[in-house]
Structure 1
Amino acid sequence: MGVTIRDIAEKTGVSITTISQILNGKGSRFSEATRNKVFQTAKDLAYKPNFFAKNMVTNQTNTIGMIVPEVTDPFFSQMVKGAEDYLNAHDYMILLCNSSQDSTREDLYVEELLHRAVDGLIIASPNILASNVFTQLETLHKPYILLDRKRHHREEGNIFIDDYEGGYMATEHLVALRHTKIGIITSDDSFYSVEERLQGYQGCLTKHGISASTTWIMEGDQTMSGGYIATKKLLETTDITALFVTNDQMVVGAYRAALELGITIPEDLSIVGFDDIELAEYMAPTLTTVRQPIYDIGKTAAEYLLRAIQNPTEKMANKKMPLKLIVRESAKRLEAE
């Protein structure tokens, strides 16, 4: 059994009521000597307050709820790590929920996390939660941070990247390497961020006077197998020389599809990805990709949320996270015919 307030009382001769008030930050009326004696004894005995009892006194749990669409996805696992490292350094714990890209499940998780009295929520999802969920969050004055979703929901406190810019950046790199037959692996338009990357791809081709064929665009699930199936279908039906894959996890499948078809990267097919997950620099050949600062996005979300908890009236500026093209070995200059 752990150390209790009664143990501290027996050691110090101070009443249980006085010790409780001091340890809960309500002991200013007691002498400095008494407060110091209580704190030092609690430290010596390695006392930890009962979690639920403390919650009843302070109305805080020091717990943050975080919802991600797929915890096994390297992108989201890195984002969670960024948030968790920051929160742990500030004595907060994460309750992590994996929605498996199910919007109904997301709504349920929000309800359950609120029921468990989390101090705030970080929601990373391409889906749009039911409006009554946002109403409930705002009615309860529960701080929350939204990631990877449309930014029109509220005007401040958004953390985002410019997906159009990223799609444009990836495509322009391939155009600079003299490619004019550039395909793209994307996903359905419910993933608005990927849709914006597609628009960036199309905008870049238009600017450079390249007439894009609709056959160069192939949709797939945002998984390795989704990338494999979509890339194989695209390569079997087109004569593209370059490919922009809208997330790095799908690129793993794209590499496998090219291998099975006897297509060598980058000699026969140049590839650019998006995200720069850890695996990207260990692929063969190493992957050229658009890096978004995944860890820092999670860390910044946690920082914003704690500020919102501690200063609920503070207005927070939107934060656009930087993108950077990381040039490695998977794309090469097309030789003139």
Structure 2
Amino acid sequence: MSIKKIAEKAGVSTATVSRVLNNPEYKCSSEELREKIWQIARELNYLPNEAARNLKKGIIDTGQKIWYIDILMTRTGSMEADPFFSELLRIIESEIHKQRCILTRVWHQPIFSNDRKCQIENIDKILEEMEQGNEQKSDGLIIIGKCNDNVLKKLSAKYRGIVSVNRNSTNYLVDEVICDGMRIAATAVEYLIQLGHRKIGYVGDCHNESRYKGYQDTLFMYNIDMDINYVIETEHTEAEGYAVMESLIQRSDVPTAIYCANDMIAIGMLKCLNRYKNRYYVPSIISSDDIEEAQYTRPMLTTVRLPKEEMGKFALYLLLDRLNGGHKGIVRTELEGKLIIRESCTPVENTNRLEYYI
């Protein structure tokens, strides 16, 4: 199926389709249009006309097998819920395209990242509903985000290969590419400690979450008592971050610094501080991911950058290696996060000198 056919169905130019399919950083006019183009490509089982290109280059077709690949998003229910995961998805989609594979389906199942809900809900029924109406059986699956162990085991019986790309290890249940959440949290919290903070809070998921464990362990390593009143369990959204800060500014005992599990929580907190302009409580805020919006907050957000491009590419390489018989044992590839120092953190003695606005 040609790019021209996709362009006709999407109502855009062939150039736009080509850019969307090949460049994860291409600034499409809207996220809805980008998803529409990919949806049409999936429905048509679009495959780059590599044979024609190779013929022009004088390359003989080696008869490489075409693999069908699914993607499962477990942290988000929509494209807009967390830009980190949508950015990572775009990278993997484009890499699947470049490697001459066919992307069959993209599922969003946030329930699979919640162990408590997975114990209550009928997981088998959800998995069956996901497969309904899909005649093409896929070879491999890439899971983006944390996934319940029981779900992982059930999915492993359905695919020749699975790769998890995440911040939480699967403990060798499947192949994985991770940027370890414990080390991410340690990097963030150690930076706050270097700035003199000892009243350090945590906002984010706490249940079976590596970033929360990293936060705890780092405080313990520096002989800092963890105050449970400074730990707030919440979903990883901007709205939740806003609500948490709205609650904090009304307290009498508050942390001087906060580590947020992701950038979206931190951005919500900054927007709340901007609205109330409460100069009596201006905490240092640090997070992790380094989504695009983190560069445009005021003050600009200090965060731990995750290597999204490498995570996405290695995930597909690892999956294809297994599908092609390159390895049989479980493989774990770990990448390093990088501290990006901007403006949202300050030495503890200067805490009240920052101004927040977005």
Of residues 139, 144, 168, the one that matches 1:124 is: 144
Of residues 61, 84, 89, the one that matches 2:93 is: 84
CA deviation after TM superposition for structure 1 residue 232, in Å: 2.1
Runs of 4+ with >6 A deviation:
none
CA deviation after TM superposition for structure 1 residue 181, in Å: 1.5
| Cα distance in 1, alignment partners of residues 94 and 164 from structure 2 | 19
Answer whether contact 2:288 2:303 (CA < 8 A) is retained.
yes
**What amino acid is aligned across from residue 82 of structure 1 in structure 2?**
I
| Cα distance in 1, alignment partners of residues 249 and 201 from structure 2 | 9
Structure 2 unaligned residues grouped into runs of 5+: 3-50, 57-62, 113-122, 352-358
Residue 98, structure 1, aligned to residue 107, structure 2:
yes
Answer whether contact 2:68 2:101 (CA < 8 A) is retained.
yes
Answer whether contact 1:61 1:118 (CA < 8 A) is retained.
no
CA deviation after TM superposition for structure 1 residue 330, in Å: 0.7
1:108-147 → structure 2 map (5 Å cutoff): 108=128, 111=131, 115-128=135-148, 129-130=150-151, 133-134=154-155, 136-137=157-158, 142-147=160-165
TM normalised by structure 2 equals 0.68
- The answer for the alignment partner of 2:73 in structure 1 is 68
- Larger relative contact order, structure 1 or 2 (CA cutoff 8 Å, min sep 6): 1
| RMSD between superposed Cα atoms in Å | 3.2
- The answer for the alignment partner of 2:177 in structure 1 is 159
| Cα distance in 2, alignment partners of residues 114 and 133 from structure 1 | 18
Answer whether contact 2:286 2:303 (CA < 8 A) is retained.
yes
- The answer for the alignment partner of 1:284 in structure 2 is 298
| Rg larger in structure | 1
Q: Deviations over 1:288-331 (max 9, x none)?
A: 10111122211111111112222255556421111111111110
| Cα distance in 1, alignment partners of residues 145 and 194 from structure 2 | 33
Total equivalences in the alignment: 278
Q: % of aligned pairs identical?
A: 24
Report the CA distance shift for 1:293/1:230 in structure 2 as closer, same or farther (over 3 A): same
1:188-267 → structure 2 map (5 Å cutoff): 188-189=206-207, 192=208, 195-237=209-251, 238-263=253-278
1:50-65 → structure 2 map (5 Å cutoff): 62-65=67-70
1:12-51 → structure 2 map (5 Å cutoff): none
Select between 99-108 and 300-309 the one with higher mean Cα deviation.
99-108
- The answer for the alignment partner of 2:354 in structure 1 is none
Residue 273, structure 1, aligned to residue 291, structure 2:
no
- The answer for the alignment partner of 2:120 in structure 1 is none
- The answer for the alignment partner of 1:176 in structure 2 is 194
CA deviation after TM superposition for structure 1 residue 283, in Å: 1.2
Answer whether contact 1:67 1:106 (CA < 8 A) is retained.
no
**What amino acid is aligned across from residue 278 of structure 1 in structure 2?**
E
CA deviation after TM superposition for structure 1 residue 84, in Å: 1.7
Structure 1 unaligned residues grouped into runs of 5+: 3-38, 45-57
TM normalised by structure 1 equals 0.72
| Cα distance in 1, alignment partners of residues 332 and 221 from structure 2 | 29
Report the CA distance shift for 1:91/1:248 in structure 2 as closer, same or farther (over 3 A): same
CA deviation after TM superposition for structure 1 residue 171, in Å: 0.8
- The answer for the alignment partner of 2:335 in structure 1 is 321
CA deviation after TM superposition for structure 1 residue 269, in Å: 1.6
Report the CA distance shift for 1:312/1:110 in structure 2 as closer, same or farther (over 3 A): farther
CA deviation after TM superposition for structure 1 residue 222, in Å: 1.1
Helix, strand or coil for the counterpart of 2:224? coil
CA deviation after TM superposition for structure 1 residue 246, in Å: 0.7
Helix, strand or coil for the counterpart of 2:71? strand
Q: Deviations over 1:36-78 (max 9, x none)?
A: xxx98x979xxxxxxxxxxxxx996543100113232211111
Answer whether contact 1:243 1:271 (CA < 8 A) is retained.
yes
